[in-house]
Amino acid sequence: VQLQASGGGLVQAGGSLTLSCAASGRTVSRDTVAWFRQTPGKERIFVAALFRTGYRPDYAESVKGRFTISRDNGKNTMYLQMNNLRPEDTAIYYCAVGPSVIRSTVASQTAYHYWGQGTQVTVSS
């Protein structure tokens, strides 16, 4: 299974970016898909997760109302739309997939079996 993340870049504060993560080797439509982020010297932290169809997504408090996670099952791809970006959103963003993630463990890295390589997002002030 491979997850290919893309869409990162440099943006000014208040701007927007959309990250994509294309999966291959596995159909992820019934999996939980998620985004995490990491800054140098710190742990990877949860950003957002989307369960299989019909369940509401989960977001970290710091991104609620600004970020939207979505998926296109036909393309086997997940997305993270990021609006009103702030300098503190600067990080490497990782996509992840887990076949049996439940809501109580959604923010735990160990709940996810597959990870993308990360894409850098830099927000300038």
For the segment 101-120, the average pLDDT, to the nearest whole number, is 95
The per-residue pLDDT for range 35-60, each reduced to its tens digit, is 999 999 999 999 999 998 778 899 99
Q: How far is CA 90 from CA 99, 108, 121, in A?
A: 28, 21, 5
Determine the pLDDT at residue 52: 82
Is the pLDDT reported for residue 119 higher than 80?
Answer: yes
Determine the pLDDT at residue 53: 72
Q: How far is CA 5 from CA 31, 77, 81, 95, in A?
A: 17, 10, 13, 7
SS (H, E, C) 26-50: CCCCCCEEEEEEECCCCCCEEEEEE
Rounded to the nearest integer, the mean pLDDT of the chain is 96
Determine the pLDDT at residue 55: 85
> For a pLDDT cut of 90, what percent of the chain falls above it?
91
The per-residue pLDDT for range 62-77, each reduced to its tens digit, is 999 999 999 999 999 9
SS3 assignment, position 118? coil
Q: How far apart are the first and last CA of the chain?
A: 37
Q: Which of 53, 54, 50 is nearest to 101 (CA)?
A: 50
Q: Which of 118, 87, 93 is nearest to 11 (CA)?
A: 87
Tokens (6 digits) for 106: 């959604």
